[in-house]
Chain A
Amino acid sequence: MQSANHKRKNIIEWFWKNLFLLMATVSIISVVTIGFFVISNGVKPFFGPSSDTTIVYLEKFKATDQVRLDGELLTDFKEAFPLTDGEHTLVYNTPQGEETINITIDSQNEDPAQTAVFSDEPESSKLDDSVKYTSILDIKGETPVGNRKVSVVVPEPAYSVTDFLFGSEWKPTALKLYGILPMILGTLGVTIGALILGVPIGILTGVYIAELAPKRVAQFLRPAVELLAGIPSVVFGFFGLMVIVPLIQQIFGLASGTSMLAAIIILGVMILPTVISMTETSLRAVPNYYREGSLALGATKIQTIFSVTIRAARSGILTGVVLGFGRAVGETMAVILVAGNSPQVPDSILSSVRTLTSTVALEMSYASGRHSEMLYAIGIVLFIFIVLLNLAIMRLNKKAGDH
C-alpha cells in the first residue's frame, strides 16, 4: 500500500519526466515540419500543371459594354473567368458597333504560343505573348491609360526534374525556365574554392595553436579564433564589398569586382574558425604516447606532427573540413553582397556567379505560384546536400571511434 506522500512523489516524478520527454521531441517535430513544408511545396511543380484551369481576364471593360462570353453576360470584371479547351467567342459593344473576338484554347499544345490563339480580333489590337503560357491582346482605347486588355493564362505543364537540375537557364518571370545548373555550379565553385583557400590555412593554424604555440600565445589565439567565428556573416560580406571587390576590380581591370573570386575569399576566411577549432580539438585529443614514440625514434617535432599526430587526429580534422563545407554551402548574405548574382554558368573565376542559397534569399519575398514552388525545390536540393554532409560526418566519427 503506497503512502499518500509516496503517491504524490510518483506523480511529480511522472510529470517532470514526461515534460522533459515532450521537450526533447520538439527537435523531431521541427525537423519533420521543416521537411514537410519544404518538400510539399518543392515537389509540386514536377507532378502537375501550375494551376487547374485556363483563365481569361478582361481589363478596363465595363458592364455597360454588354460583354458576352460564349453568350453569357458578364458584369463583374474583378475576377478571372475559367475557359475550357476549344473555341470561345467574346462579344462586346463599342461606340463604333459590336466587336467579336474568337479565342481557341489548346492547353496541352507543346508550343506555348499555340496554347491560346486569338482570331479576327479588332485591327487596333496588338498581341503580346512575350510571357510564355500568357497571351495578352491589347486593344487601343481613347486615352493611353484606357487600353482594354484580354489576357488568357494557360496552366504551365509539369516541369521535368532533369530540366530543373541540368537546365542552364533560370528565367522564371517571362520565359518560365527553371534550370538551376548555373546555381549548382556557382555553389560548388564558391564552396570548393573556399575549401581550397580555407582548409590548408585552417589546419596549419590549428596545428600551431595545438602543437607549437607557447601557452601564453595559445591563450591569446583561442579567443581570437572564437571572435572570428562570432562576427556576423553580413559584416564579412560588407567588408568584402568595401575592400575585396574594389581590389579585384583594379587588379584584373574588370567592369565590376563582384565575382566568384570575391565570394571564395570571403567564404574561405569565414570557414577558418570551424576548421581551426576542429583541428585543434582533435589534435589535443591525441594521447602523448603517440608523440613520445615518434620523438623517441629521432623524428623532429615537425615530422612527428605531420607523420604521427595529424594521422591520429585525421577523422576529427576531416569532420572539421566537412563542417566547413556545410557552412560554406549554407552561407547566403555575405555571398549575395560580393558574388554579383548573375544566374549564369561561370566560365571563369572572375565571372559573376549566383549560388543556390542566394537565389532563394533574393527572390523568395516576391515569387509566387510556380516560381515560389521552384524556390522550395531549391530548398530540397540544399536539404539533400546537408543530409549527404551529415552522413559523411557520421561515417567519419564512426571511423574515429575505431582506432
Chain B
Amino acid sequence: MAENNKFEVENLDLFYGEFQALKSITMDIEANKVTAFIGPSGCGKSTFLRTLNRMNDLIDTVRIDGEIKLDGQDIYKKDVDVTDLRRRVGMVFQKPNPFPMSIYDNVVYGPRAQGIKDKKKLDEIAESSLRAAALWDEVKDKLNKSGLALSGGQQQRLCIARTIAMKPEIILMDEPTSALDPIATLKVEQLMEELKKEYTIVIVTHSMQQAARISDTTAFFLMGELIEMGDTNDIFSNPKKQQTEDYITGRFG
C-alpha cells in the first residue's frame, strides 16, 4: 500500500435491491491530490462517491460487498463511528443546501454538533472557514442574515465553508458547479485550487473541461464499471481503452 494513499477500494459491488449499480470497482485515491470521476449520466460515479462517506446508508435498499479502506481501516466494519467518518470525509452537494439558519449558524453547525460550545472558539472557526472559502469579505458584516438569502455561488461556497469548519481530511464534491452560472463556477474552481493544498479532493463532474483543468488524476466510469484511471493528462491525450477515447472525443455520452 503506497503510504500516501487515502482510500484503497477492493472490488467494490453495490446493489439497489436487485439492480447492480457498481461492479467490482478497484482503485486507490492519493492524498492531497484532486481526483475527478467522469462518465455519462447514470454510470454510477455519484453513487460510488456517496459510498466513500457512507451517505448511501440512508437508502434502505442499498447492499455493498467488497472493501473500502481509509488510511488502512475498512470504513464499513460494524464498529466504525459513521459520524466520525463523515467528519473526516466532508461532502459538498450538487444543489447548494445551506440550512434555513443564519450564515454564522450554518458555518458553525458542524463544530457545535461535535460539542464545541465556546463562543470565541466558534467565532474563530467561522472566520477562518469563511476566509478559506473566499466568502468572508462578502458576508463578514451580515453573518446573522439567513443563509438562504445569498446568491447560488455564495450559497455553494457557504456549504464549502461549513465543510471546512469540520477540519476534514477529504472533501467529496458531487458536481458542485453544475447548478451555478459560469462566473460562480470559475470562483469555485479557483477556490478548489487553493483547497487542494491542504485537502484530498474527489470531484464528480460531467464537464470534461473542468476535470482537465483542476484534477491530477481522472477515473472514467461506464455502466457501473471503472474503465480506466490514470494521470489526467495521459487520460485526455492518449487514453488506453477504446471506450474512454470514444467518450472523450464526444462520440457518445
Tell me the chain A residues, 1-21 only, with Cβ under 8 Å from chain B.
1-3, 5-6, 9
Contact string, A179-193, partner B, CB cutoff 8 A, digits 1/0?
Answer: 000000000000000
Contact string, B33-62, partner A, CB cutoff 8 A, digits 1/0?
Answer: 000000000000000000000000000000
Tell me the smallest distance from the CB of A256 to a CB of chain B, in Å.
60
B83 interface hit (Cβ, 8 Å): yes
Cβ contact within 8 Å between A9 and B79: no
Q: Which residues of A contact B81 (CB under 8 A)?
A: 2-3, 5-6, 9
Tell me the chain B residues, 59-105 only, with Cβ under 8 Å from chain A.
79, 81, 83-84
Q: Which residues of A contact B83 (CB under 8 A)?
A: 9
Q: Which residues of B contact A6 (CB under 8 A)?
A: 79, 81, 84
Measured CB to CB, the nearest residue on chain A to B83 is A9
Give the number of A-B contacts (CB < 8 Å).
11
Using a Cβ–Cβ cut-off of 8 Å, how many residues does chain B contribute to the interface with A?
4
A253 to B81: give the CA distance in the assembly, Å.
82
Tell me the smallest distance from the CB of A4 to a CB of chain B, in Å.
11
Measured CB to CB, the nearest residue on chain B to A9 is B83
A2 to B79: give the CA distance in the assembly, Å.
6
Tell me the smallest distance from the CB of A11 to a CB of chain B, in Å.
13
Q: Which residues of A contact B84 (CB under 8 A)?
A: 3, 6
Contact string, A157-171, partner B, CB cutoff 8 A, digits 1/0?
Answer: 000000000000000
A9 to B113: give the CA distance in the assembly, Å.
11
Q: Which residues of B contact A3 (CB under 8 A)?
A: 81, 84
Contact string, A51-87, partner B, CB cutoff 8 A, digits 1/0?
Answer: 0000000000000000000000000000000000000
Measured CB to CB, the nearest residue on chain A to B84 is A6
Q: Which residues of B contact A2 (CB under 8 A)?
A: 79, 81
Measured CB to CB, the nearest residue on chain A to B81 is A6
A9 to B84: give the CA distance in the assembly, Å.
11
Contact string, A392-403, partner B, CB cutoff 8 A, digits 1/0?
Answer: 000000000000
Tell me the smallest distance from the CB of A285 to a CB of chain B, in Å.
26
Measured CB to CB, the nearest residue on chain B to A3 is B81
Tell me the smallest distance from the CB of B116 to a CB of chain A, in Å.
13
A49 to B85: give the CA distance in the assembly, Å.
70
Q: Which residues of B contact A5 (CB under 8 A)?
A: 81
A382 to B74: give the CA distance in the assembly, Å.
60
A3 to B87: give the CA distance in the assembly, Å.
15
Tell me the smallest distance from the CB of A7 to a CB of chain B, in Å.
9
Tell me the smallest distance from the CB of B83 to a CB of chain A, in Å.
6
A264 to B79: give the CA distance in the assembly, Å.
66
A237 to B83: give the CA distance in the assembly, Å.
58
Tell me the smallest distance from the CB of A278 to a CB of chain B, in Å.
31
Tell me the smallest distance from the CB of A2 to a CB of chain B, in Å.
5
Q: Which residues of A contact B79 (CB under 8 A)?
A: 1-2, 6
Measured CB to CB, the nearest residue on chain B to A6 is B81
A9 to B81: give the CA distance in the assembly, Å.
9
Tell me the smallest distance from the CB of B70 to a CB of chain A, in Å.
16
Measured CB to CB, the nearest residue on chain B to A1 is B79
A3 to B81: give the CA distance in the assembly, Å.
8
A5 to B114: give the CA distance in the assembly, Å.
10
Contact string, B174-212, partner A, CB cutoff 8 A, digits 1/0?
Answer: 000000000000000000000000000000000000000
A6 to B86: give the CA distance in the assembly, Å.
13
Measured CB to CB, the nearest residue on chain A to B78 is A2
Tell me the smallest distance from the CB of B135 to a CB of chain A, in Å.
31
A3 to B79: give the CA distance in the assembly, Å.
9
Tell me the smallest distance from the CB of B158 to a CB of chain A, in Å.
26
A6 to B78: give the CA distance in the assembly, Å.
12
Tell me the smallest distance from the CB of A14 to a CB of chain B, in Å.
14
A2 to B83: give the CA distance in the assembly, Å.
12
Tell me the smallest distance from the CB of B58 to a CB of chain A, in Å.
14
Q: Which residues of B contact A1 (CB under 8 A)?
A: 79
Contact string, B9-34, partner A, CB cutoff 8 A, digits 1/0?
Answer: 00000000000000000000000000
A3 to B85: give the CA distance in the assembly, Å.
13
Tell me the chain A residues, 209-254 only, with Cβ under 8 Å from chain B.
none
A42 to B24: give the CA distance in the assembly, Å.
64
A6 to B84: give the CA distance in the assembly, Å.
8
A5 to B79: give the CA distance in the assembly, Å.
12
Tell me the smallest distance from the CB of B85 to a CB of chain A, in Å.
11
A145 to B80: give the CA distance in the assembly, Å.
88
A392 to B107: give the CA distance in the assembly, Å.
51
Tell me the smallest distance from the CB of A143 to a CB of chain B, in Å.
83
Contact string, B151-184, partner A, CB cutoff 8 A, digits 1/0?
Answer: 0000000000000000000000000000000000
A283 to B103: give the CA distance in the assembly, Å.
41
Tell me the smallest distance from the CB of B48 to a CB of chain A, in Å.
26
* Contact sample, A vs B, 11 pairs, CB 8 Å cutoff: A1-B79, A2-B79, A2-B81, A3-B81, A3-B84, A5-B81, A6-B79, A6-B81, A6-B84, A9-B81, A9-B83
Further 9 A-B residue pairs, CB within 8 A, beyond A6-B84, A9-B83: A1-B79, A2-B79, A2-B81, A3-B81, A3-B84, A5-B81, A6-B79, A6-B81, A9-B81
Interface residues, chain A, CB within 8 Å of chain B? 1-3, 5-6, 9
The 9 A-B pairs at the shortest CB distance, nearest first, are namely: A6-B81, A2-B79, A9-B83, A3-B81, A2-B81, A6-B84, A1-B79, A9-B81, A5-B81
